[in-house]
């Protein structure tokens, strides 16, 4: 249940967590409704007007509370809903307008270059998807997402096929930056309309004119809580400790988010209860799994440990707030988690094992570097597999795949900052996949008839 403002004891405990456990608020994201904006100029003006005070208020609050707030972001209405004609050049102009607006207001990223095509793609959707490589190569702060599947609609395999080609083309157009454009592009199943995390944030259907949403972090805090437990602590007691710790982290995140919303005079949206790792030592979801008892991430036992962690994170957060939303759970991005990347490099964690892990955690195959000669059809097949996990389990799954031109399996690729670094993963069979050439539609699972 939701509770009142933080007490002094909770604030002091929070300060201790910040001091040695990498506690931070990963993102404050302002959602902006662009309905009624028809031109790139309209979009830019709307974003600048809505977000002009965001960075100043967030920075001010970070100083006041002593809680680091890592990213300031904006999410907008899907551009495919705004564009009034199927024109690829127009889509790129919208992307440039978003980028310019993001630079003016000083945010790190802006999301919403988005199409929702789980059932069918309109001509505007098709043009937006086709424009993504150029748009992402021409901008620095713009993030894009495409939803190709839902439990209710099934999987749009025509869109899946196209997105394999889009990922490949984006990598080639940003080859000089090690295909960084692909790090700003995510392909979803069951995308949610209130996700504050990039690259998949957009201000979706059912949202109001504006909202402040929060994405928390805290893997280091959870890891430190587990380190002090006796080595023979039963798993149910470990789960309880995770719940208690995430409860505290969630309370801090909601307090900050509500205060930003109050100072900006906009509604508070949701708090995404997620453990989002960074490449900093000690700020790793993989380390938590090993503290639970897995000898090395990727070995047998990894999936059950991750399932328990994800469940405990959700339960602890849900007790702390009535406004949980977004993706909420434990993230497993390879390049953004130093221990996860290390497990890939030493051969313990494979692409296939990561896919199995995505069935029990938040999101999916995230920030994964692939060999540069990986075919578009193989990329599409990986996306389709991940979408299948999403629709059958009625959960959000996603792919952020980065085929790095010229790179081979085992080579390390570095992007810097929160994007981190990762070894290029081996794909054991990269032959052309005939399944993708069939296109069409994968029907929804029977559970779609749950109404």
Domains and CATH numbers, the chain: 7-332 (3.20.70.20)
Answer yes or no: is pLDDT of 209 > 90. yes
The closest of 293, 191, 213 to 29, measured between CA atoms, is 213
Q: Which two tokens stand for residue 124?
A: 């505007």
Q: What percent of the chain has pLDDT over 90?
A: 78
In sequence order, the 6+-apart residues with CB closer than 8 A to the CB of 282 are: 21, 22, 220, 223, 224
Q: Among 266-270, 310-314, 323-327, whose mean pLDDT is lowest?
A: 323-327
What's the pLDDT at 13?
Answer: 63
- Predicted confidence at residue 15, as pLDDT, reads 60
365 is written with which tokens?
């195959």
CA separation for the pair 78, 193 (Å, rounded): 10
- Asked whether 73 and 107 are in contact (CB, 8 A), the reply is yes
* DSSP-derived secondary structure letter, 324: B
Amino acid 340: pLDDT: 94
Q: What is the pLDDT of residues 387-418, one digit of tens each?
A: 999 999 999 999 999 999 999 999 999 998 88
Q: What is the dihedral sign for C-alpha 290, 294, 298, 301?
A: negative
> If residue 294 lies in a helix (H) or strand (E), which one and from where to where?
none
Cis ω before 199 (30° cut-off from 0)? yes
Write down the pLDDT at residue 3: 52
Which region among 106-115, 142-151, 355-364 has the lowest average model confidence (pLDDT)?
355-364
Residue partners of 68: CB distance under 8 A and separation at least 6: 18, 23, 24, 25, 62
CA dihedral 107, 109, 114, 118 (to 10 degrees): -130
> What is the pLDDT at residue 1?
44
Nearest by Cα to 144 from 184, 86, 194, 190? 184
In 22-87, alpha helices (H): 40-51, 54-65, 79-82
Angle at 41 between CA 39 and CA 44, to 5 degrees: 115
The mean pLDDT of 308-328, rounded to a whole number, is 93
pLDDT at site 98: 98
SS3 (DSSP) at 423: strand
> Does the structure show a pLDDT above 60 at 7?
no
Could you give the CA distance from residue 424 to residue 282 in angstroms, rounded to a whole number?
23
pLDDT at 24 over 90: no
Residue 441's Cβ-count burial label (10 Å; 0-12, 13-18, 19+) is middle
> CB count, 10 Å around CB of 346?
11
Q: What is the pLDDT, as a whole number, of residue 217?
A: 83
What's the pLDDT band for 107 if we cut at 50, 70, 90?
very high
Instruction: Write the CB contacts of 380 (distance below 8 Å, at least 6 apart in sequence).
Output: 160, 161, 163, 164, 165, 433, 436
- Pick from 394, 362, 380, 385: which is nearest to 190 by CA? 394
Does the pLDDT at position 55 exceed 90?
A: yes
Answer left, alpha or beta for residue 364, where phi above 0 means left and psi between -120 and 50 means alpha: beta
Q: How many whole angstroms separate alpha carbon 275 and alpha carbon 285?
A: 7
Find where tokens 């150029």 sit: 134
Average pLDDT, the chain: 92
**Which pLDDT score is estimated for 2?**
47
State the pLDDT at residue 21: 61
Q: What is the DSSP string of 152-179?
A: TTEEEHHHHHHHHHHHHHHHHHTGGGTT
Q: State residue 416's pLDDT score.
A: 85
pLDDT at 283 over 90: no
**DSSP string across 16-37:** HHHHHH---EEEEEEEE--TT-
C-alpha separations of 161 from 66, 167, 359 in Å: 47, 10, 22
State residue 434's pLDDT score: 83
pLDDT score at 432: 64
């Amino acid at each position: 249940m939701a509770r009142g403002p933080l007490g002094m004891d909770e604030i002091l405990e929070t300060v201790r967590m910040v001091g040695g456990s990498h506690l931070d608020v990963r993102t404050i994201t302002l959602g902006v409704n662009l309905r009624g904006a028809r031109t790139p100029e309209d979009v830019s003006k709307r974003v600048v007007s809505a977000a002009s005070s965001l960075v100043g208020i967030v920075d001010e609050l970070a100083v006041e509370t002593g809680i680091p707030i890592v990213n300031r972001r904006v999410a907008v209405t899907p551009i495919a809903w705004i564009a009034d004609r199927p024109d690829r050049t127009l889509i790129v102009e919208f992307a440039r307008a978003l980028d310019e607006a993001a630079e003016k207001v000083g945010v790190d990223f802006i999301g919403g270059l988005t199409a929702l095509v789980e059932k069918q793609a309109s001509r505007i959707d098709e043009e937006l998807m086709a424009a993504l490589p150029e748009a992402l190569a021409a901008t620095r702060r713009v993030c894009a997402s495409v939803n190709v599947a839902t439990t209710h609609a099934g999987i749009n395999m025509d869109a899946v096929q196209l997105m394999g080609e889009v990922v490949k083309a984006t990598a080639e157009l940003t080859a000089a930056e090690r295909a960084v454009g692909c790090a700003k592009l995510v392909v979803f199943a069951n995308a949610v309309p209130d996700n504050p995390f990039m690259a998949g944030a957009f201000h979706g259907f059912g949202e109001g004119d504006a909202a402040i949403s929060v994405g928390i972090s805290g893997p280091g805090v959870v890891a430190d809580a587990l380190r002090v437990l006796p080595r023979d602590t039963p798993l149910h007691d470990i789960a309880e400790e995770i719940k208690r710790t995430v409860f505290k982290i969630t309370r801090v995140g909601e307090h900050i988010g509500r205060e930003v919303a109050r100072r900006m005079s906009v509604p508070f949206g949701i708090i995404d209860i997620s453990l989002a790792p960074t490449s900093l030592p000690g700020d790793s979801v993989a380390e938590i799994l090993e503290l639970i008892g897995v000898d090395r991430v990727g070995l047998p036992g990894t999936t059950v440990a991750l399932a328990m962690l994800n469940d405990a994170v959700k339960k602890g957060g849900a007790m702390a707030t009535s406004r949980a939303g977004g993706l909420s759970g434990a993230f497993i991005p390879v390049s953004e988690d130093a221990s996860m990347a290390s497990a890939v490099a030493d051969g313990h964690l494979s692409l296939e094992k990561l896919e199995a892990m995505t069935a029990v955690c938040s999101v999916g195959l995230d920030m994964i570097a692939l060999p540069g000669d990986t075919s578009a059809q193989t990329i599409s097949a990986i996306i389709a597999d991940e979408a299948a996990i999403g629709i059958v389990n009625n959960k959000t799954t996603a792919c952020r795949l980065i085929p790095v031109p010229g790179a081979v399996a085992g080579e390390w690729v570095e992007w810097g900052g929160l994007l981190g670094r990762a070894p290029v993963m081996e794909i054991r069979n990269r032959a052309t996949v005939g399944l993708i050439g069939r296109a069409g539609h994968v029907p929804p699972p029977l559970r779609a008839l749950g109404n």
